[in-house]
Amino acid sequence: MVKLTKIYTRTGDGGTTGLVDGSRVSKADAIMAAIGDVDEANSAIGVALTLVPAGAVGAALTRFQNDLFDLGADLATPDGIDGALRITPPQVARVEAEIDRLNADLAPLTSFVLPAGAAGAAALHLARAITRRAERSAVAAGAGGPALAYLNRLSDYLFVAARHVNKGGAGDVLWVPGGSR
């Protein structure tokens, strides 16, 4: 269990931060960029939670927020640490199951979808875009395996959830190629 009694430590004042094994890296290190982007994605999901109707999407988003803390710990733990908290294949499979559940009721896409629609859907699209950035950052930091797969699936889930919130896809705003010329 985590217990924080002091919020500031001053240990990062010199531009470094600690990893799970006690080593220190620059706050500009690629792994820290990835961890920061995962944190931003988690925060964006938190905003989306305030805008989506209560129900299955909200419950899934809350579970995924918890998973993103696991993912941050995974990224902050160098390889070779026994007993480290890591994203697992069952966590990835759970995201896939949620995608399949929501997607089953959606009409097939006939165009790309603009990141718009209902406020909750727009917030989910923003969370999706941030999650895609976190995925790119994780790749740049050399992450792989279930952590990378999790980010990939989560961004897919956020897209499908946005369509679900947009009245089952009926409220999606479709891209019209060249439509504003």
Phi then psi for 113, rounded to 5 degrees?
-105, 130
How many domains does the chain fold into? 1
Contacts of residue 5, Cβ cutoff 8 Å, sequence gap at least 6: none
Query: Is residue 180 in a domain?
Result: no
Positive/negative CA dihedral, 79, 82, 90, 55: negative
pLDDT, residue 169, reads 72
**DSSP state at residue 107:** P
Query: Is residue 6 in a domain?
Result: no
CA end-to-end span of the chain: 57
- In this predicted model, what pLDDT tens digit does every residue of 8-38 receive, in sequence order? 889 899 999 999 999 999 999 999 999 999 9
Which helix (H) or strand (E) covers residue 96, if one does? helix 89-103
Supply the range of the domain harboring residue 109. Answer: 25-170
Query: Is residue 75 in a domain?
Result: yes
pLDDT, residue 133, reads 98
Tokens standing for 97? 């199951």
pLDDT, residue 3, reads 79
| Distance of alpha carbon 134 from alpha carbon 152, whole angstroms | 9
Quick one: angle between helices 89-103 and 145-165, nearest 10?
Answer: 20
Give the CA-trace dihedral at 69, 71, 72, 78, to 10 degrees.
Answer: 140
- pLDDT at residue 168 is higher than 80: no
CA angle 168, 90, 109 (to 5 degrees): 25
- In this predicted model, what pLDDT tens digit does every residue of 33-55 receive, in sequence order? 999 999 999 999 999 999 998 88
- In this predicted model, what pLDDT tens digit does every residue of 67-110 receive, in sequence order? 999 999 999 999 888 899 999 999 999 999 999 999 999 999 98
| Distance of alpha carbon 4 from alpha carbon 19, whole angstroms | 16
| Distance of alpha carbon 38 from alpha carbon 31, whole angstroms | 11
Q: For residue 56, what is the domain's CATH number?
A: 1.20.1200.10
